[in-house]
A = this chain, B = another copy of it.
C-alpha cells in the first residue's frame, strides 16, 4: 500500500487496519521511521532515498524535495549503525590521549565537538597509558573493532611513530597534533611551540632580565624540546647564554614545578625570572617563591605556558603563553571529516601567543 502524496494524511488507527497494513501513520512513525517507510510513503525505491541521504546528484530535484519533506515531517534520520555496517566503517571519531591536564583534554573535546556538531559523527574518548608496552595494541583494537572513521592523536601519543604506523597499517585515518611536522600535511596540525618559547625569551630579555631559569617538561616530550629550545635560542640570539645548571627537567606537574623552583632559587646568583613550560609548574614556582618570602613579580618574574584557567586564578595573575587548544581540536576534527581529496600541501599551523599579566616586570636594579 503506497501513499504517493508528499504529505500523507493522518489516519485514525483502527485495530483491523493497523494489524494488517504496513504502518504509515506519521504519528506512530515519529522518531523510528526507516528508509523503507520513507520509500514506501513517497513512492520511490529505497535506493533513491539512500541517494538523497548521501547527497547524490543523481536524483531529480522534485524527487529529492519530496523525500526530504517527508524525512523532515517524520523526523527521520538514518540509523548510523546500519549505514556503518553497509559502509564498513562507523561514524565515530576517537580521541586518544595519555594523561595531559584536565583542562587540555576538555578543551580538546569541546573543539572536536564544535566541528562534529550536526555532522552525524560522535566523539569517543580513549585515554591510554603510553608507558605500557601494549598500549598500541589497545588503540589498534579500539580503532579496528569500532571501525573508527578517524582518530585524533594529541601529545604525547601523537609523537609516537609506531602508533601512527599501526594506524596506517589498519587503514584508519588520523590527525596528529604536535609541535613539529612529524607526518604528511594531511595528517598534521602543528603548534609552533618553538616560536612561542622564543617570544617568552624576547619578552623577558626586553624587560631587562639577564639571569634566568628554565623549568622544562620531560625530555621525551617533543613540546619540551620546542618550548625550552625556542626559549634558549631566543636568549642566545640576544646574547644571553643560559648555563645548563639554570635548567631543570620537570614533569609538567605542580610538584615538579615546586622542586624546580626550589632548585633554581637556591642558585647564586639567583635568577630574576623563571620560564616554566606549563602553567601547573608555574603555579609550583609561586609556591616555592612564597615559601622563601620572595614576592612575585617584585623579586621574581614568572612566565608559564598554556593559559589554563589556573593562570588567571593565581595571584598575581600569571603571564603565560596562550595555546588555542579548542581551535586545535576543532581543526583536527574538521580535517578528519573533510574530503581526502582536499588534502593541503602545507600542514595546518597554529601559533600560541604571549599573554602578559601581573607576574612579570623589570628586575630590581
Chain A residues in the interface with B (C-beta under 8 A): 31-32, 77, 79-82, 84-85, 90, 92, 102-103, 105-107, 109-110, 113, 122-127, 141-142, 144-147, 170, 254, 280, 283-284, 286-287, 290-291, 309-310, 312-313, 315
Contacts and interface: CB of A to CB of B under 8 A. Distances in A.
Q: Dominant SS at the A interface?
A: helix
Contacts of A291: 315
Given A81-B147, A286-B315, 9 more contacts: A77-B145, A79-B145, A106-B106, A123-B125, A124-B124, A283-B313, A284-B313, A291-B315, A310-B313
A212 to B, nearest CB: 23
Contacts of A146: 80, 122
A76 to B, nearest CB: 10
A265 B345 CA distance: 59
A239 B32 CA distance: 60
B127 A124 contact: no
Contacts of A125: 109, 113, 123, 125
Top 6 closest A-B pairs, CB basis?
Answer: A102-B106, A102-B102, A287-B315, A81-B84, A102-B103, A254-B313
Contact of A110 (B127, B254, B312): B127
Nearest to A288: B315
16 contacts: A31-B170, A77-B141, A80-B146, A81-B81, A82-B85, A102-B102, A102-B105, A105-B106, A106-B106, A109-B127, A110-B127, A122-B146, A125-B125, A254-B309, A283-B313, A310-B313
A332 to B, nearest CB: 15
Contact of A313 (B122, B124, B147, B280): B280
A255 B32 CA distance: 46
Contacts of A84: 81
A202 to B, nearest CB: 29
A215 to B, nearest CB: 15
A317 to B, nearest CB: 9
A305 to B, nearest CB: 16
A312 B145 contact: no
Contacts of A123: 124-125
A218 to B, nearest CB: 18
A130 to B, nearest CB: 16
A309 B253 CA distance: 10
A12 B73 CA distance: 56
A81 B254 CA distance: 43
A291 B316 CA distance: 9
A362 to B, nearest CB: 22
Contact of A287 (B77, B103, B284, B313): B313
